[in-house]
Amino acid sequence: MTATEPMRLGIIGAGKLGMTVARLAIDAGIEVVISGSGDVDRLAWTVRLLAPGVRAATTAAVAESADVVVLALPFHRFHTLDRGLLDGRIVIDAMNYWEPVDGADRAPAGGDSSATVQQWFPKARVVKTLNQLGYHALKAAWVATERVAQGVAGDDPAARTTVMALLDRLGFDSVDAGPLAAGVNLVPGSPAFGAASDASTLSSLLRAGATGAGSTAAIWPDRSLS
Amino acid sequence: MSEVTSSMELGIDNFVSEVVDPNTGTVYPAPERMKQFLTEVLTADRAGVDSFGVGEHHHQYFLDSAPVVILAAAAAVTERIRLRSAVTVLSADDPVRLFEQFATLDLISGGRAEMVLGRGSFTEAFPLFGLNVADYDSLFEEKLGLILQLREDVHPYWKGRHRPPLTGQGVFPRPAQAKLPMWIGVGGTPSSFVRAGVLGLPLMVGIIGGDPRKFRPLLDLYRKTGIQAGHDPATLQVGIHCFGFLGDSDQQAADDFWPGYERTMATVGRQRGLPAPRRARYDAETGKHGAFFIGNPETVAQKILDLELALGGFTRFTLQMTNSMMAPDTMLRSIELLGTEVKPRVLKARAGS
């Protein structure tokens, strides 16, 4: 797929992140279909006011019709989706594990939340990106004059290339972060997390993350409560 | 929808969090910190601040896991100020018990109690009370439905998933106010604005960063949903909650608030994986279009008035002043300035417009 080819973007999760990505995509001339946890009519009403041009649908319809599907649910909710739902699809994992919200019992092994997602959807072509900046920062980066870069990690090179072309249309530069396992350099606690920077700065931050420099443990301090 | 509404309440929503004495670097002992907090509410009451809210946290850095107990103590020493939770983590509590507690608070305070009901941005209370985070949404939906019913119905019949049924037993005491005020507290989740609009409940919006004017589309979503659902536009009230702090000059206010802000962000923020706070970013947030209402009374009053126009009106504006490294007198001065200097400026400008 090239940057100008028509495409349909599916988004699962109509919260802060999902609606923000929907807005960015529709403004870039991309066809967008989105699903949420409530009923479709209510979501359609929300979308009509907040992101006109975006279509609301069921999650099954989103998975069925989209070329690329963005997972924008709370991390503790993705496993409520059917495991075969995204077979063969390019799936952007834009989620982060956050202990205070997702609970300690959902902590991914080694902090690698995308590996958990890939295991749940074994036949999906999972790419990790759009997780490294909060939704406020995504909106800000979108209107900024300097382009902000996003790290992209995934095991399928063709899927990675498609996603990078998509990011370009959304208004972001991208940095190839390597295989999906390298996505741990994009999560909370890594030097790259929360950094709205250009591609060369992001590349250095990703290298710093890979070598363990400057990273912090992304944990809530008092485990006594959980 | 853009006309300025007739009333405007100014309030404070603080946390009873751990505070470090900036002179000694040591944490104020818990009993002393609790006294300081009650003095904050008392000072606000005397300065003419309209309302005071207390947060709810189940966390080692906080003393406010039992907010209604704190509000009851505040009710006993104050006279006019309205008292509320900010927010009550409804999902993790029993609506019947909560209603009983707030009805009791309403009696103690002579009809000054309010509730702000939210899902809560932290789920630390979930494991503490044996709840499953996966039920986050259904817990809130169900419990919200029940507590709204309890407000109308003395002998409720009710059945749900997360609590045993109610079969007409009375829920007492009844509050002093005919209808205990219940607001919905939200962040930026669109479906939360729709829910509040459908139910026709007043809406309290917590804005923690970025340009607050960006919330206009979400507020319009709330208002349009409410009108479509058949609610009187006058009942579709909006309140806005932001970080804020007052000093005798802009510079002094910003400098007084920064050390504790930096400390909090560098510890809690870092544990959540966020980058270290920078003063330049902080200064941008305290500027004309940032989310922090920090400055002298003139600056903050003008910023509130500007935001009210940009958002299509609101009837309540509350400041989160809590700071993890601050002398009590500095905090009390800020509270006093809100009541005695900001409020008259805001009311005067609105009366004249």
Cβ proximity of A91 and A105 under 8 Å = no
CB contact under 8 A, A50 and B60: no
A2 pLDDT above the threshold of 80 = no
Contacts of B278 (CB under 8 A, 6+ apart): none
Q: Is the peptide bond before B87 cis (omega within 30 degrees of 0)?
A: yes
Q: Which CA distances in Å does B266 have to A189, A208, B261, B270, B308?
A: 12, 20, 8, 5, 32
Please, what is the Cα angle at B254 between B305 and B238, to 5 degrees? 30
3-state helix, strand, coil in chain B (%, to 5): 50, 15, 35
pLDDT number for residue B265: 86
- Which of B140, B138, B22, B39 is closest to B91 using CA atoms? B140
Q: By the CB < 8 Å criterion, does A36 face chain B?
A: yes
Helix (H, G, I), strand (E, B) or coil at B62: strand
B209 pLDDT above the threshold of 80 = yes
B288 pLDDT above the threshold of 70 = yes
| CA B207 remoteness from chain centre | 11
Question: From the CA of B158, how many Å to the nearest CA of chain A?
Answer: 23
pLDDT number for residue A189: 87
Structure tokens belonging to residue A72: 């924008």
pLDDT number for residue B251: 97
Q: What would you measure as the largest C-alpha separation in chain A, in angstroms? A: 53
- A 85-104 → B contacts, CB under 8 A: 98, 100-104
Assembly ipTM: 0.78
Stretch A176-188: mean pLDDT, rounded?
Answer: 94
At B171-207, the pLDDT tens digits run 999 999 999 999 999 998 999 999 999 999 999 999 9
Checking phi first, is residue A86 left (phi over 0); if not, alpha (psi -120 to 50) or beta? alpha
Q: Which CA distances in Å does A5 have to A141, A159, A164, A165, A166?
A: 24, 15, 14, 10, 10
Question: From the CA of A218, how many Å to the nearest CA of chain B?
Answer: 5
CB contact under 8 A, A222 and B128: no
- Which of B230, B152, B183, B202 is closest to B87 using CA atoms? B183
A151 pLDDT above the threshold of 50 = yes
User: Which residues are A178's β-sheet partners?
Assistant: A153
Stretch A92-101: mean pLDDT, rounded?
Answer: 91
- Predicted confidence band of residue A225 (pLDDT cuts 50, 70, 90): very low
Question: From the CA of B281, how many Å to the nearest CA of chain A?
Answer: 13
Q: By the CB < 8 Å criterion, does A14 face chain B?
A: yes
Share the mean pLDDT of chain A.
88
Provide DSSP, A81-150. Answer: S-TTTTTT-EEEE-----HHHH-GGGPPGGG-HHHHHHHHSTTSEEEE-S-SS-HHHHHHHHHSSSPPEE
Question: From the CA of B266, how many Å to the nearest CA of chain A?
Answer: 12
Stretch A158-174: mean pLDDT, rounded?
Answer: 96
pLDDT number for residue A215: 44
Higher pLDDT, A56 or A3: A56
- Chain A residues touching B269 at Cβ < 8 A: none
- A 147-186 → B contacts, CB under 8 A: none
